[in-house]
Amino acid sequence: MSLKNFRRTSFFDGTTWACLLLGRKATNEAATQLGLKTMGSEAGNAKALVPIIKQWFGSNLSDKPLLFPCADIRKDILPEALKTAGIPLQELIAYCTSPHSDLQENVQSYLRSEGDPQCIVFYSPSSVQYSIQFLQSHMKDWQSVKLISIGPSTSDAMETTGCSVTATASRPSPEGILEAIRSCTQTEMCLGSS
């Protein structure tokens, strides 16, 4: 749905809506274009966003629930914490996560032309879910590859598969990822996985 069409929908009445979000620049810009007042972008993850929501909701009591657009594979952290705090939440599956149709072909092509990377950066739990097994079985020296995570949820997903996380970004940003890469290697030959 385009931004123009979204503005025309019946639930968007032109008033200033509060938008609590995790994403940084792109998410914030999209919400601002919709006329939403944003807060919480500095949180970086759902666990850190909970106190921000509690503080905001406490001063903006309403009988209406918070709208929670999310992925089909969202974590329970935010819904459970808000339920415990007595904050009503209306979940709305906004998108479904699936692997790119050319993922395996693209990885094979990369490995054929470049060989095993020194490190792999995982940007989401779903990137781990959709690629880790394939990577393990198609790389020549999987054990020597440094595995970097964008944040705690992604690190958890990596550890669940039995992988050792070499470094986790201190914040989910390009700068945080760069710091994590630099903390474990001086070579810039990496393969990003989002």
- Report pLDDT digits (tens) over 142-171: 999 999 999 988 999 999 999 999 999 998
Last residue of a domain, one of 95, 122, 144: 95
Q: Is 78 in the same domain as 110?
A: no
Residue 116 and residue 41 share a domain: no
User: Where do we find the tokens 């201190």?
Assistant: 170
Instruction: Out of 95, 117, 134, pick the residue that ends a domain.
Output: 95
Q: What percent of the chain is modeled with pLDDT above 70?
A: 77
Answer yes or no: do 87 and 36 share one domain: yes
pLDDT-derived band at 5 (thresholds 50, 70, 90) equals: very low
pLDDT score at 7: 43
For the segment 165-193, the average pLDDT, to the nearest whole number, is 79
Domain endpoint, select from 61, 76, 95: 95
Q: Are residues 7 and 90 in the same domain?
A: yes
H/E run at residue 131: helix 125-138
Instruction: Read off the pLDDT band of 68 (50, 70, 90).
Output: confident
- Do 70 and 112 lie in a common domain? no
Number of structural domains, the chain? 2
Check whether residue 57 and residue 125 sit in a common domain.
no
Tell me the pLDDT band of 2, cut-offs 50, 70 and 90.
very low
Note whether 60 and 84 are same-domain residues.
yes
List the structure tokens of 166. 């070499």
Q: What per-residue confidence (pLDDT) applies to 107? A: 92
Q: Across the chain, what does the average pLDDT equal?
A: 79
Provide the CATH number for the domain around residue 11. Answer: 3.40.50.10090
Does residue 7 share a domain with residue 90?
yes
Res 186 pLDDT > 70: no
Contacts for 77 with CB less than 8 Å, ≥ 6 apart? 46, 47, 50
Residue type for position 67: L
What pLDDT sits at residue 60?
Answer: 62
Instruction: Tell me the per-residue pLDDT of 34-67, one tens digit each, with 9 for 90 and over.
Output: 777 777 777 777 777 788 887 777 666 566 777 7
131-154 in b/e burial notation, b at 16+ Cβ within 10 A?
A: bbeebeeebeeeeebbbbbbbbbb
Residue 41 is part of which domain span?
3-95
